[in-house]
């Protein structure tokens, strides 16, 4: 019975090993900057989570690095540039407009332009390809009525 009790207590204490990171800041502005950075920077391992939502080891290291740089008095540009130099533009949730990201930013506009061009082309062709209605003279009208009457009588509709 003691062994079972020891096993239960051991399993329940595993959650006590969870670590909650707490960082000390000198000012509230530093805390706000830190929170902004961990929300805006993407975890390189998780790829679809920001640093604040990731429990990976690299996210822990990056949060510690951001805190250290803020406490050392680094500017937002310096911190962002350090992260981009080290991990590339991928680390930013909002990538910069640069030559490398040009396709990312312009592809939707190009596709929209192509779609509008195709739509306009099809609209113009549809309007051009439909012939204008013609009027029939008396001889043509009589011939048409004769053909329609013959068709009705051949199909048995005239009865």
Residues 41-82 have pLDDT tens digits of 988 888 788 888 888 888 889 999 999 999 999 999 999 999
65 to each of 8, 79, 88, 130, 131, how far by Cα in Å?
38, 9, 16, 69, 72
CATH class belonging to 21-111: mainly alpha
The number of CA neighbours under 13 Å toward the Cβ of 44 is: 14
- Rounded to whole angstroms, the Cα distance separating 103 from 106 reads 5
Q: Each residue of 18-34: b (16+ CB within 10 Å) or e? A: eeeeeeeeeeeebeebb
Residues 18-38 have pLDDT tens digits of 445 678 888 999 999 999 988
Strand partners, 42: 50
Domain limits, the chain: 21-111
């Amino acid at each position: 019975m003691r062994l079972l009790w020891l096993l239960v207590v051991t399993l329940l204490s595993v959650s006590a090993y969870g670590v909650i990171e707490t960082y000390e800041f000198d000012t509230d502005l530093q805390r706000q900057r830190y929170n902004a950075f961990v929300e805006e920077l993407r975890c390189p391992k998780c790829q679809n989570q920001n640093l604040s939502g990731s429990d990976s080891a690299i996210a822990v290291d990056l949060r510690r690095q951001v805190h250290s740089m803020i406490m050392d008095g680094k500017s937002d540009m310096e911190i962002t540039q350090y992260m981009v130099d080290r991990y590339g533009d991928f680390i930013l949730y909002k990538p910069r407009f640069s030559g490398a990201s040009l396709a990312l930013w312009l592809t939707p506009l190009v596709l929209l332009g192509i779609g509008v061009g195709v739509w306009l082309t099809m609209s113009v062709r549809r309007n051009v390809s439909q012939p204008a209605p013609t009027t029939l003279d008396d001889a043509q009208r009589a011939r048409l009525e004769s053909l329609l009457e013959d068709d009705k009588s051949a199909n048995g509709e005239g009865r």
